[in-house]
Amino acid sequence: MSSDIKIRVHQLSKIFFRKNSSVHAIRDINFEVKNGEFVCLLGPSGCGKTTLLRILAGLEKPSGGSYEMIHGDRNKPLQSMIFQEKGVIPWMTVEENVAFGLRMRHAPKNETKERTDYYLKKVGLWEFRKLYPSEISGGMKQRASIARAFANDPEILLMDEPFAALDEQNKYILQEELLSIWEETKKTVLFITHSIDEALLLSDRILLMSAQPGTIVREKIIDLPRPRKIASVRSNPKMGKEFVDIWKHLQEAVNGNLKGATTSLPNEVY
Amino acid sequence: MEKEVIMAASQPVAYERKKWEKSQKKQNYYRTLTLFSPITILALWEVLSRTALIDPRFFPPPSTIIVEFVHLAVNGNLSSHVMISLYRILGGFFLGVIPGILLGLLIGMYKPVRYTFQPLVMALMPIPTLALMPIIIIIFGITDFSKMVTIAGSVFFPVCINTAAGVSNIDPIFVDVAKNYGAKSKDYFFKIALPGSLPVMMEGIQMGQAIALLTIVAAEMIGANSGIGYLIWMDYKAFILKGMYVGLVIISFFGYFFSILLRFLQRRLIPWQK
Ligand SMILES: Nc1ncnc2c1ncn2[C@@H]1O[C@H](COP(=O)(O)OP(=O)(O)OP(=O)(O)O)[C@@H](O)[C@H]1O
Ligand SMILES: [Mg+2]
């Protein structure tokens, strides 16, 4: 049962209809995600990544096509989303935020307490649990957001650039924390990013998207051994090649030119 | 070549303490200012009135107002007027605030409710409830309840409008969060809509409090035989301006007291706001 399909997306399209200027955000998206797989969606800004994720999260209706998320264990929620920023609710303490999902689905009190406490400790927010979001840093808020999703114990996690607004160091720390939590829970993850490094570090597989209207143009299997650490992924020469390859693709996608203009690489990366 | 050297204090703690002490002094200075401005005005009034530079018949010296206040309080019927007014104010206040909050929340949460009631609220708001007092008295008689209804009618609008604005100002991302985590409408109401709108709602309630005081005096002037407004009116008609001023001072004290009470409540209810 470990390699069965968890998410199946078929010819999914979304058009934002306006009287004068409709936006074709995504077109004919097809992909599958296996149970327990960590998949990153990588694409240029505005290509419809958020739109796709919001559809899967039940916050938006698709214009065409279909998707299916297989609900295995009926005692668990199907999916939870981790929002890009500002997802923590200002009028709840850190603790109440982390417990939010469990409270909303009326989980038993002791289970709620147990899971909340566990993930508060796990993400290092235990001492800050009584504070309000306005009293903690941006990195801590994002930790609370992650803890809330994991505490809710869904089968699928949908993450929309959760670390994009963080500074480098916080980002690395949180990426490794996410990996370590994910490795012990083995949830199915669909993770949006526009950072190539982040995608290489985290994922089993990367789906590359084209510019608007977004569609999936390529996939890459990242078969680095786990558990992964930033240092080892960074120093792996194979990953350097992958980076260049994806970088070229993104340039092409942005330029809308599949032959590829002369690409200049940031030489400090590798 | 120019060089700028900033000399840091050799003892940073002592340096910061000095700065802190300075800021404390400043704080005290501001506090004295707030205290002194009314005292200065009162003193000036006293002097001008006693020297008859302003007409003491219209502006009796504050000291005589205090004497009159004590006199009325000891004679006993002042406290009964104050109590009856307080009763009407509180009754009318809650009679206006509670429906105001409820309708405001519904308007903020549900589009059909909004489109049905918002135009009505907008159209009715400019009508002074005081102008409707004759009708209110015909319906409810010269009772305490008719004053409460008058106050409620004035308090209702700012509370309702602010509450609705508070709800619609909630960042849509929290609505998404609630939806994604499976909040039912009851949970959405209590965990998102109510707390999210509280800051703006409280501003409306603060406004409503002030309006309640404005309304009670006028309402009791028109149709009552007790209360502070009645007292003010009778003293005014009998040209006992000292008594009238006593009534005004009491109302002003009420306003001050209720504001402080509400601010305190606000800090308690909205602990996440710094
Ligand atoms: N509610 C909406 N109404 C109209 N247009 C929208 C709406 N949401 C998204 N769009 C449009 O759809 C396109 C895709 O947006 P989306 O937010 O999915 O991009 P994205 O890939 O997440 O970009 P980024 O990396 O910058 O977050 C954009 O052109 C955007 O303007
Ligand atoms: Mg996005």
Q: Closest Cα to residue A149, out of A193, A200, A202, A185?
A: A185
Q: Is the pLDDT of residue A210 over 80?
A: yes
Chain B residues close to A90, C-beta within 8 Å: 272
Q: Is residue A96 left, alpha or beta, with left meaning phi > 0 and alpha meaning psi from -120 to 50?
A: alpha
How far away, in angstroms, is A194 Cα from ligand 1 center? 14
A253, amino acid identity: A
Note residues around ion ligand 2 (Cβ under 5 angstroms).
A 50
Most confident by average pLDDT, A10-14, A221-225, A230-234: A10-14
pLDDT tens track for B200-240: 999 999 999 999 999 999 999 887 889 999 989 988 888 88
Q: SS3 for A234?
A: helix
Q: For chain A, what is the mean pLDDT? A: 87
Q: What is the pLDDT of residue A238?
A: 87
Q: What is the pLDDT of residue A226?
A: 83
Q: For chain B, what is the mean pLDDT? A: 90
pLDDT tens track for B9-61: 678 888 889 999 999 999 999 988 888 888 999 999 999 999 989 998 888 99
Q: Is the pLDDT of residue A235 over 50?
A: yes
Asked if residues A239 and A200 have their Cβ atoms less than 8 Å apart, the reply is: yes
Q: Cβ–Cβ of A83/B272 closer than 8 Å?
A: no
- What is the tally of helices (H) and strands (E) in chain B? 11, 0
Measured from the Cα of A48, ligand 1's closest atom is 18
* CA of B201 vs chain A CAs: smallest distance (Å): 14
How far away, in angstroms, is A50 Cα from ligand 2 center? 4
Measured from the Cα of A43, ligand 1's closest atom is 21
Q: Tell me the three-class secondary structure of A176-209, residue by residue.
A: HHHHHHHHHHCCEEEEEECCHHHHHHHCCEEEEE
